[in-house]
Amino acid sequence: MFGHIDYRNPPELCPVRDVMSVASDQWSILILLWLGYFQVLRFNKLKKYVYGISNKVLSQRLKILEADGYIERKAYPEVPIRVEYNLTEFGQTYVEKLLELAEWMHDNSPKVIANREQYGLN
Amino acid sequence: MFGHIDYRNPPELCPVRDVMSVASDQWSILILLWLGYFQVLRFNKLKKYVYGISNKVLSQRLKILEADGYIERKAYPEVPIRVEYNLTEFGQTYVEKLLELAEWMHDNSPKVIANREQYGLN
DNA sequence: TCATAAGGTTACTTTTTGTAACTTACTCTT
DNA sequence: AAGAGTAAGTTACAAAAAGTAACCTTATGA
């Protein structure tokens, strides 16, 4: 692992860092987690669950996540158009990892918040 | 988990999202992983391993990570000053999670890169 | 004829990052 | 005695990313 992340390589030459910077992006994580929970979601539903994201960033992240192979986009030529997003099989395996992370966050965020407040007192 | 991340709460009212946005930040992850690997690192060594990070962002991230309780900062009043950073016990538990994530990235980044290239062809 | 709907895009503003020079305080070299 | 070097940052300014809100398309139903 650490042999592989050669610290002397500029970031753009380290594929692990490159891939990680997309997959560990705050909005991407939330998008993937909600897709993991619902299986299929349309653009506006996603926007609703990934609370606070803008159209612009949602649309941009969905494109990257599709390009990287985590999700699939299906457009139905109805009117108004219907577009559905879902995880790929590959995306599923990643979401399993993310769920562990999210669970850790869920269990430990009170502690972090407490730390943060105590630190503020100094 | 998903009941807890109430999608109707503005981001600043969801502690899990708040904590996660610090802990899953690209630079923070790299800092924590290298501290996990070396136990103790000084500012300039960290800067060397977390290749590409600027003084400004490194210093800012270290402060947040310290405030959140992941790392500890020890300053020795020598000349020139010596400052050492290390994980707290709490930070260690998080780094274990991060290592799993990093391992997944290491194993799967070739696939993502391949996906990305294929997508470019369409 | 006009409002509505889904899934975006666009122009513009604000926030976050990156860059590179500067600071501090003491020691070592010349 | 003047000047250089050192670690750990800080600061001012420029560039990139994100947020905001209005707009687009195409057809259907009122």
Q: Nearest 5 degrees, angle CA B105-CA B106-CA B109?
A: 65
Phi, psi angles (nearest 5°) of residue B19: -65, -40
**CATH number among 2.20.130.10, 3.40.190.170, 1.10.10.10, 3.30.1490.20, domain A11-121:** 1.10.10.10
Mean pLDDT of A13-23: 90
CA B31, distance to chain mean position in Å, is: 5
Comparing CB atoms, the residue among B15, B51, B90 nearest residue A109 is: B15
Residue-wise pLDDT for B56-66, tens only, equals: 999 999 999 99
Mean pLDDT of chain A: 91
Q: Which parts of the protein come within 7 Å of strand C, by CB position?
A: A 42-45, 55-56, 59, 62, 73, 79-84; B 25, 27, 52-57, 60, 79-80
Are the C-beta atoms of residues B107 and B88 closer than 8 Å to each other?
no
Residue-wise pLDDT for B26-69, tens only, equals: 999 999 999 999 999 999 999 999 999 999 999 999 999 999 99
Measured in angstroms, the CA of A97 and the nearest CA of chain B are apart by: 7
Beta strands A82-87; B71-76: pairing state: unpaired
Confidence of residue B94 (pLDDT cuts 50, 70, 90): very high
Per the CB < 8 Å rule, is B24 touching A23? no
Confidence of residue A2 (pLDDT cuts 50, 70, 90): low
A71: closest CA among A101, A52, A48, A98? A98
Per the CB < 8 Å rule, is B1 touching A102? yes
Residue-wise pLDDT for A42-86, tens only, equals: 999 999 999 999 999 999 999 999 999 999 999 999 989 999 999
Share of chain A above pLDDT 90, in %: 81
Question: What are the structural domain ranges in chain A?
Answer: 11-121
Comparing CB atoms, the residue among B99, B109, B116 nearest residue A16 is: B109
